[in-house]
């Protein structure tokens, strides 16, 4: 991990309009509610470029809003190789995107590159399913998984000393 007091987390999916912006919004809200707003840099991106500049999928926005998360301000962007120098944690939503990340990852990347759900106990190898071609239930499932993984990520950042327990 880079030697700094402030962590940087990047969530990655394919188009950056469903899963990764949901993870960004959920994790930012968790940080704010925990009193850690501004203590962790959070962003999201896609490995593909076809949605660059677009807001999250309206179904993601709607499902997230029903749980108190604001995603409408976010805009899709594509992964840049420079992201490997900016972020301590680069968390993919699925194995296909993780494979793309590994192929682009510089040999000297000192951070954590893995699946988001690997942070959950018993979550090893599990993927956040892509809800894009399904119904609204898929977006609720994404939120359920992302909320649980966000709690685990916060605990990981505390354990690694990026955020001190009780220092909110």
Phi/psi at 66 (nearest 5 deg)? -65, -20
118 is a catalytic site residue: no
Which residues, 6+ apart, have CB-to-CB distance to 76 below 8 Å? 15, 16, 17, 21, 45, 46, 51, 52, 53, 54, 55, 56
User: Quick check: 64 and 143 in contact, CB under 8 A?
Assistant: yes
Q: Which of 43, 83, 88, 130 is catalytic?
A: 130
112-115, strands of its sheet edge to edge: 40-46, 7-13, 89-92, 112-115
Residue 39 annotated in active site? no
Catalytic one among 18, 19, 45, 88? 19
Exactly one of 4, 6, 13, 159 is catalytic; name it: 13
Q: Let me know: does 91 contact 9? Beta carbons within 8 Å.
A: yes
Task: Record the tokens describing residue 51, joined without a space.
Answer: 């949605």
Whether residue 130 lies in the annotated active site: yes
Catalytic residues: 13, 19, 130
């Amino acid at each position: 991990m880079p030697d700094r007091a402030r962590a940087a987390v990047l969530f990655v999916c394919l188009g950056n309009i469903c899963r990764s912006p949901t993870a960004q919004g959920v994790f930012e809200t968790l940080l704010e509610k925990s009193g850690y707003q501004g203590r962790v840099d959070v962003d999201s991106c896609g490995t593909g470029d076809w949605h660059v500049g677009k807001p999250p999928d309206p179904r993601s926005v709607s499902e997230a809003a029903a749980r108190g998360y604001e995603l409408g301000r976010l805009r899709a962007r594509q992964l840049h190789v420079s992201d490997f120098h900016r972020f301590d944690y680069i968390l993919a939503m699925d194995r296909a995107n993780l494979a793309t990340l590994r192929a682009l990852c510089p040999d000297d990347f000192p951070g954590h590159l893995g699946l988001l759900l690997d942070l959950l106990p018993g979550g090893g190898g599990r993927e956040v399913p892509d809800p894009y071609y399904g119904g609204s239930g898929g977006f609720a499932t994404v939120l359920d998984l992302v909320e649980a993984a966000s709690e685990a990520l916060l605990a990981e950042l505390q354990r690694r000393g990026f955020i001190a327990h009780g220092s909110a």
